Chain A
Amino acid sequence: MSARKLIVALGACALLAIVAGCGGSAPMGAADAAGQRDKGPVKIGALHPVSGSNAVDGLQMRRGAQLAVDAINAAGGIKSLGGRKVELVTGDTQGKADIGQSEAQRLISAGAVGLVGTYQSAVSTNVAVVAERNRVPFVMDVTATDTIFARGYRYVFRVQPGSKVIATAAAQYLKQVSEQSGKPVHKVAFLHEQSDFGSGAADAFDAAAQQLGIALGPNISYDAASVSDLTAQITQVKASGADVLAIAGYYRDSLLAAKAIASVKPDLSAVWGVSNGAYDQPKFVSDAGQLGDRYFNTNYHYDATNPQTTALREQYQRTFGDPMRTGAVLSYDAVQVIAQAVEKAGSTDPEKVRDAIAAGQVAPLTVGKGPIEFAGNGDNSNAAPVLMQVQGGQVKQVYPPEKAESRPEYQVTWRP
C-alpha cells in the first residue's frame, strides 16, 4: 500500500469516527443542570430509538410519553409546584448503546428531573450507568434483561415485567390452562433464539416448569440474525413427542417458526410463546393468516380490560393514525411514575424525586397485579404478564381470568 493510499484510508476512518461521534454533545456542568431544573417547565427526558431498525417502536414510545405529558398538562400541570407545566425533552438512541449514553448525559445536563426509556436492554444498561453517576432517576419502560438489577443501583427503576417474571408466569399459566381444558401438559419442547433474551427465557421457563413437574425437551436454539428455515428444528420437536412447543424469539424468526410448524404439523396441543416478539402483534395475525390462529403468548401487554387504556389507545389512533402498541403504553406509565413523584415530592431535585418514586404507587395502564410500586432493587413488584391468544384473527387476553377478554382455546388448528 502506498503512503498516499494509507493516508486516504486513515482519513476516511477519522471522518467516519467524527460522524459517528456527532450524536452526543459535550455535557454541561452540574450547576447548569440544577439551574435548568428550577425554572420553566419540569423536564422529563425520553430516550428511544427513533431512527434505525427499531424506529417504528421507538417512535411509538416517544409518542406514548408525549401523550402522558399532554395529559398531565391538560389536568393543570404539577400542582404542588404551583401548576408548573411538564415538558418532554427527547433523545434518539438510534438503538446504539454509546449514543444512548451520550444522549442521556445531554438530557440530564438540559435539566431533566428523570429519564424514561429505552426499548433495548443493551442501551438501558448504559443509560443506567449515566443515571446512577448523575443521581437522576431512570425509569425503564421496556427493558427485558434482569441483569441490570444485579448492580445494586439506587436510581434505576423498571415498569415492565422482567424476562424471568414472564417466563415463570408462562410455565404456570401453561400448567393451569392445560389442566382446565382437560389436556394436562406432559412434555414441553423449547425453541428459542440463542442470545441473552431467548436463552434467558428458556432457562427461567425450564426452572419453573421443573418445579411444576412438567417434562422438558428438547431445548433447541437458533441464530435469529441468520436463520432462514426452521423446518428441521420443528421436525426434531415432532420426533420428540412433546405436546407443547414453547417459543421465545423475535418477530422475523418467530414468523419463520410458524411457517415451519404449518408445514411439519407436529402433534402439539399448543404453541406457547414466551415473551415472544411476534405472537401478540396484530401484524403477525395479518402476516401469518390462518397459520397463526390459536397461538398463545405470555408477555407484557396494555390492559385491554381497563377503560382508561382503551380511551388512551383510541386517542393515539386518532392522533397518529396507527394502533398504539404496548411499548408506548409502558412509556406512558413510566412518565406517570416520574410526574407523580415530582408532584408528591413538591420538588425538582432529582434526589427527592428518586425517593418519591421508590415510595410511591402509580395506577398503570398496562397489565399488573396492582399499582406500580418498586421493590428494593427498583423492579416493579406488581408487574405481571398476561396470556394472549390469536383467536379468529384477533389477539385476545385470555388468562388470568380477571384480565381475560375471552376464554383460552387450548388446541391447535391442524389437530382435532
Chain B
Amino acid sequence: MNNLDTAQAVVDPDTAPPARRFPVDRSFLGRAGVVAVVLVVAVVVALLRSGSGLVVWQSVVTGILTGGLYGLIAMGLTLIFGVLDIVNFAHGALLAVAMFISFGLVDTTGMHPYLTLLIATPALFLVGAIVYRGLLSGSGARSLENQLLITLGLSLLLENGLLMFFGAEPKSIKLPGEFQFSLFGAVVAGSRLYAFLGAIALGGVLFWLLRRTRLGTAIRAVAANGTGAQLVGINVRRIHMVTFAIGTACAGAAAALAGPLVTVSPTLGEQFNITAFVVVVLGGMGNVVGALVGGLLIGLVEQLTTIYLGGQSSLLGVFVVFVLVLFLRPQGLFGRKTA
C-alpha cells in the first residue's frame, strides 16, 4: 500500500522487474495508453452527444482546470495516507480552517489573496504537527476505527468551531485584478489558471522533496518499512509528525490558491472531501503525482458526465469511475500491487 513513488519506492521482491538504469515500467505505459484511449472515446462521445465542439472543448478545459484543484487538495491527503496509513477525514475541515485564515488576512489587512499562501501554509504545517502530536500519535490511532472516530470528530470540532467564530454566512475572497482569456474559444479565468499552475508547482515541490532531499528519503524509508527505517537510525515518530504536517500544509496551500474560486464557509470541506478521496484511490493511495493526475481525470469525468447526462449529479460519473477502479485496479492507476 505504501507506494509513495511510482518509479521505485516499494518493490515487492517477488514481482519486481530487474533493476534498470531508467526503470520504464511497461505496464505503466500500457495503463496510461488505456486511460488516454478511454478519454479520447469519452470526448468523441461527448461531441456526438452535445453536437457542439465549443461546449465539449469548454468542458475539457474546465475539467482540467478544476481537476488541478482536486489534485492539489488530494496531494496532502495521499501523502498522509501513504506514509502514516491514516485516512484523514479531517482534511476538508483543515482546508476550511486554512481558507478562513486566508479570508481573515485578506479581509482585515487587505493582503493579496495569494500572499496569504506564505502564512496559511506554515500555519497549517503547525496545526498539522499539533494535531498529530495531540490526537494521532498515541497508540489509540493505530486501529482504523479509532482513526476514523478521531479524524471525523476533529472535523466536526473544527467545522463547528468555525461556525461559532465566523458564523454560517458565506464569505468571498476577492482577487484584485482578476482577468480571463479565451483559449481557442474556451473561457479560462485567471484565478483558475493560477490554482492549476499552483497545483502543478506544488506537485513538483513535493516530488522534489520526496526524491531529492534527506527528509524525503527518510519519509520514503519510513513509508516503505518502518522497522527498517528505525534500525538505520531514523526517528520514525518525528518523520510521521513531519509528514502529517506537510500533508496538512498542502491543504493550507490549496486553500490560499483556491480561495478566490470558492465561497468560503465552515462546511466547505464536505464539498471537496469525497472528491479528494476518490482522487486518492484513483491515483494510487500514497502516490503524490498520481493524486495530481487522478485529480485531472476526475475533473474531466465530472465535466463530461454533465454533457452525457444533461447535468444530473456529476458525482454519478465520478463514482462510476471510482467503482470501476476499485473493481479492476484497487491499487489505483499508478499504484503497485501490494503483497
Contacts and interface: CB of A to CB of B under 8 A. Distances in A.
Given A5-B145, A55-B168, A283-B169, A232 B271 contact: no
A228 B271 contact: yes
Q: Is the interface of B mostly helix, strand, loop or mixed?
A: helix
A221 B189 contact: no
Contacts of A231: 58, 62, 187, 189
A239 B189 CA distance: 19
A169 B186 CA distance: 35
Nearest to B266: A53
Contact of A235 (B145, B187, B261, B310): B187
Contacts of B168: 52-56
Nearest to B262: A228
Contacts of A225: 270-271
Contacts of B167: 55-56
* Residue from A220, A222, A231 having most chain B Cβ neighbours under 10 A: A231
Interface in B257-309: 261-263, 265-267, 270-272, 274-275, 303, 306-307
Given A5-B143, A53-B266, A252-B263, A264 B187 contact: yes
Given A55-B168, A226-B275, A229-B65, A235 B189 contact: no
A75 interface: no
Contacts of B189: 231, 259, 263
**A contact residues, range:** 35 or more
Contacts of A55: 163, 167-168
Contacts of A256: 263
Interface in B305-326: 306-307, 310-315
Interface string B177-201: 0001000001101001000000000
B256 to A, nearest CB: 16
Q: Is the interface of A mostly helix, strand, loop or mixed?
A: helix
A287 B50 CA distance: 33
B314 A235 contact: no
A218 B310 contact: yes
A172 interface: no
A3 to B, nearest CB: 13
Contacts of A239: 52, 54-55
A221 B312 contact: yes
A236 B167 CA distance: 36
B66 interface: yes
B126 to A, nearest CB: 27
16 contacts: A9-B145, A12-B149, A52-B163, A53-B163, A54-B168, A55-B163, A221-B310, A222-B311, A226-B271, A226-B313, A228-B272, A232-B59, A232-B62, A239-B52, A239-B55, A289-B174
